[in-house]
Structure 1
């Protein structure tokens, strides 16, 4: 059975049992008047407890029109950067401040260097690359994001060391933040150009705000086209029928209600680069709370380990026709941003949760701050958890003995982790490493997924996240979602460190504090968590890959 909804330039295809599952939910949404109420900004759609938050978080519905007012300012900033010879655009931002512009620029084929890490090796590499031609977009909704504040300080120090000061320095930064934030005040005091974002849009819904558009425009993207693509979808989203956003949201919500609460996302010729990573944050952070939610699992393609059909999984394919999946979505990038935001908000109503808050994100931040307070007194953070349970070459494994089940080599230890995942659970790999220099670590996801297929009657989904980036994404689901995850954290020795000017800690100390702070948050909830520490990163990654090959 197949149902296809096409309108506004996008197409959503439902196949198999999801058609029947979604039908009743879809009819109820229509009967309740949800399409018209949502597009009118009705904050009561998610219940009285969510109404106050929702009333301040529905500005994304108007962005295809309201963000047009930014276009002259973006053209001015881009022209100034070109006139100054600044053609290396670095984006310092986390979560919603970085994921959308990375998708936009990759899809457009223009260069944007994204810094959503505290890894000292990766940051040092960016600082050492074309500094004389670099302009930095400092992007933070709250204005107090510790990673982004650290990046700003590090770049200010690097520019000063290079003799770039005074007015020349002010032209090296563009700040994007909400009105009234601490970052706005600091930026204006320093004389940096400031672009204010819409305060009525949450970070993960901000793709078409200044957070998505400013860095993309500076990098050379014609962002007006994205707004036009999204605007073309608006009439369809008001409709009770032939509404692709409503159909997708009903399918996501209905699937989760029937136990299919894992959404495997693969690309198959969409022409959009990295969209799954953006959708991952949107869905996980919006729905993963109160012990329930939808877990996005981004895989490398439709032939990747972990894409196969399992009892608690729904599979979504982005792009051209692909019959062996339950959900198919196609359309231009600007429209897809709006489509998935709308669908996620609808799924939140179906699941009975508030899709606009993130109640469990703050805990890891608080743990990080507590660990760093020791540094403020002149001491390094205490972030190493005693002696390892197992050491093999460059790899240390820190884990409870009962979880490792007597393993004496890496293969047995990793297999023990895979088999520890409960039925209907998942394995999350969280790598606090250099996303560029240690990119080989991403190969652990398909290898662990393949091992899960060999060792388990029903394969467990495997996710992969770069730390601390995932803390602003799936980190909410890890702590607020179902008690069904097993967590594999990877840290590594850094060949170099980077001081944070004006702060008593280095990036390496901050990175370890973030890793250990999140580990504490997981273990305090009884989540099984293993920490793998690489005493030599390259050798350690090779050992792990070899153990699973």
Structure 2
């Protein structure tokens, strides 16, 4: 793919800033300086920049890891294991999810599943269907200390230990983590089958083409050499110093200059075949750019909807299935409005690694135009810190202290509102605070089951129609490791509708020697994570409304939808 293969429809909406940006990029030798690992491309001080540029070499260094990954996979298959389950969050889970869902499982290899939540219903449902005798758990974390990861490891290690015995349990676990982390030490203490070392100079969201993404891919039977070939080709093209000929530099200039002039809602039209890639893109863009009062807001939609309601702050991305594919009726209608549209061909699952490197490079270039460091995440810790405070307070009190709430009514109540304000008034007040250029984020700390997902999609559509704003949807705690940085780091453009359950099943997080569990049970941890993020958003002056659903959750969601008209 060259920049000429990135079709820009209605480029006049991006001019003259795009043309000037390309000239400036060439004049300032930005491409060469990125490859030279020159941190001054982004900042005048080297804080978490030069030591986070290892991803530039990933397509080549990953090739060196392939024989080891293949040998490990053969040993696992030889022991009769048939399923691999990734326990991890953020970059440790999103790239494996791309490979899990974009590729079929090769005959004789392992099915691949991702578990990235502390929601107790989801955890227990997974445990009920897992055949522990046949499973390999991939315990994946750059830091090795992520609360969700530690909790899931405690739970499933205890399950395997009880069923198979302590001597056999470790053979059903493999760690992927950076050198010297607590997880690496724990893998030795608990006799894990293996601990793969990540590269410390690659951040989590840029780690797809390292062991964090490639080990799960290998276990699924994906041909790693074939997968990496397009990534190497893309890396070579991203070395071209003339930005107009360099796909990553060109795309990054489009994104960065558009965002700098206010077109900062990057809307991806994602067909079902590319849904897993959307989650990975969402984290890469949001967590890399959402800071210092700036940010590009990724918005995931299945296709154009209510085109007349789209604001002037959007850039659209479409992924045609082939070079000759005509845009569908909705995309054509959108193009006829003069909206800027990027078209990128993704016609083969094995080309996805090329797109991964393309977007990594483009995001780094876009950050140059926004004058931010794309490799740090200064606000992510805030929600974690608040969650720990909630847990500590609950431990002192013996249980979580109740929040002030409005009166219960028809399955839902409003957290933190005055005693005289009912749900209808609270929702109206919240949505009445919309401003031009805003977006609305639905933050669902709810079980991720089919009925709830369907109701959430309908709720997002109603909110879109009512407010005419871009609407994003994220399940907690997953979104904390994806869009959470943007929510707290951008220019206060978001309205945050947090949805939580009133009652959760109590599922113990077992005590395992050597593992410092963050909470006694999943319900307490899940609740603390929701409250902690709400507190962190409020501390940043964000507009937040928290709605609590009784049981059944679905009834409260139907009531909420009715309040929106």
Q: Which TM-score applies when normalising by structure 1?
A: 0.91
Q: 1: CA distance between counterparts of 2:99 and 2:92?
A: 12
Is residue 442 of structure 2 the alignment partner of residue 429 of structure 1? yes
Contact 1:96 1:207 in 2 (8 A): yes
Match of 2:81 among 78, 83, 86: 86
Contact 2:138 2:176 in 1 (8 A): yes
Q: Identify the residue that residue 3 of structure 1 maps to in structure 2.
A: none
Q: Identify the residue that residue 539 of structure 1 maps to in structure 2.
A: 555
Contact 1:213 1:223 in 2 (8 A): yes
Contact 2:7 2:343 in 1 (8 A): yes
Contact 2:3 2:250 in 1 (8 A): no
Q: 1: CA distance between counterparts of 2:482 and 2:474?
A: 9
In the superposition, relative to structure 1, how do residues 305 and 122 fare at CA in structure 2: closer, same or farther (>3 Å)?
farther
Contact 2:406 2:421 in 1 (8 A): no
Is residue 508 of structure 2 the alignment partner of residue 511 of structure 1? no
Q: Identify the residue that residue 132 of structure 1 maps to in structure 2.
A: 133
In the superposition, relative to structure 1, how do residues 46 and 276 fare at CA in structure 2: closer, same or farther (>3 Å)?
same
Contact 1:395 1:533 in 2 (8 A): yes
Q: 2: CA distance between counterparts of 1:216 and 1:452?
A: 36
The alpha-carbon deviation at position 244 of structure 1 amounts to 1.2
SS at match of 2:47: helix
Q: Identify the residue that residue 206 of structure 2 maps to in structure 1.
A: 205
Deviations 1:392-440 (A, max 9, x none): 32212225459xxx87565x654543332222111111111222x2553
Is residue 106 of structure 2 the alignment partner of residue 97 of structure 1? no
Is residue 475 of structure 2 the alignment partner of residue 466 of structure 1? yes
Mapping of residues 413-492 of structure 1, within 5 Å: 414-435=427-448, 437=449, 440-441=452-453, 443-445=455-457, 447-453=459-465, 455-456=466-467, 459-492=468-501
Which residues of structure 1 form unaligned runs of 5+?
Answer: 1-5
The alpha-carbon deviation at position 496 of structure 1 amounts to 2.6
SS at match of 1:315: strand
Q: 2: CA distance between counterparts of 1:306 and 1:401?
A: 38
Contact 1:415 1:451 in 2 (8 A): no
Q: 2: CA distance between counterparts of 1:33 and 1:273?
A: 36
Q: 2: CA distance between counterparts of 1:138 and 1:362?
A: 21
Which residues of structure 2 form unaligned runs of 5+?
Answer: 106-110, 512-516
SS at match of 1:316: strand
Q: 2: CA distance between counterparts of 1:305 and 1:400?
A: 33
Contact 1:441 1:541 in 2 (8 A): no
Is residue 269 of structure 2 the alignment partner of residue 266 of structure 1? yes
The alpha-carbon deviation at position 202 of structure 1 amounts to 0.5
SS at match of 1:123: helix
Q: Identify the residue that residue 328 of structure 1 maps to in structure 2.
A: 343
The alpha-carbon deviation at position 220 of structure 1 amounts to 2.7
The alpha-carbon deviation at position 318 of structure 1 amounts to 2.2
Contact 1:265 1:298 in 2 (8 A): yes
The alpha-carbon deviation at position 356 of structure 1 amounts to 0.6
Q: 1: CA distance between counterparts of 2:60 and 2:451?
A: 38
Mapping of residues 323-472 of structure 1, within 5 Å: 323=332, 324=335, 326-331=341-346, 332-377=351-396, 379-382=398-401, 384-386=402-404, 388-400=405-417, 408=422, 414-435=427-448, 437=449, 440-441=452-453, 443-445=455-457, 447-453=459-465, 455-456=466-467, 459-472=468-481
Q: 2: CA distance between counterparts of 1:79 and 1:242?
A: 42
The alpha-carbon deviation at position 544 of structure 1 amounts to 3.3
Q: Identify the residue that residue 222 of structure 1 maps to in structure 2.
A: 223
Q: Indicate the RMSD between aligned Cα atoms, in angstroms.
A: 2.4
In the superposition, relative to structure 1, how do residues 359 and 309 fare at CA in structure 2: closer, same or farther (>3 Å)?
same
Q: 1: CA distance between counterparts of 2:4 and 2:20?
A: 25
Match of 1:18 among 14, 19, 30: 14
SS at match of 2:491: coil
Q: Which TM-score applies when normalising by structure 2?
A: 0.88
Match of 1:528 among 540, 543, 555: 543
Provide runs of 4+ in structure 1 moved above 6 Å: none
Q: 2: CA distance between counterparts of 1:277 and 1:533?
A: 26
Aligned length in residues: 530
Contact 1:268 1:319 in 2 (8 A): no
Q: Identify the residue that residue 282 of structure 2 maps to in structure 1.
A: 280
Deviations 1:260-290 (A, max 9, x none): 1111111258x43421111111111111111
The alpha-carbon deviation at position 39 of structure 1 amounts to 2.2
Q: 2: CA distance between counterparts of 1:501 and 1:377?
A: 20
Contact 1:92 1:116 in 2 (8 A): yes
Q: 1: CA distance between counterparts of 2:389 and 2:7?
A: 46
Q: Identify the residue that residue 303 of structure 1 maps to in structure 2.
A: 304
The alpha-carbon deviation at position 172 of structure 1 amounts to 0.5
The alpha-carbon deviation at position 229 of structure 1 amounts to 1.2
Q: Identify the residue that residue 58 of structure 1 maps to in structure 2.
A: 53
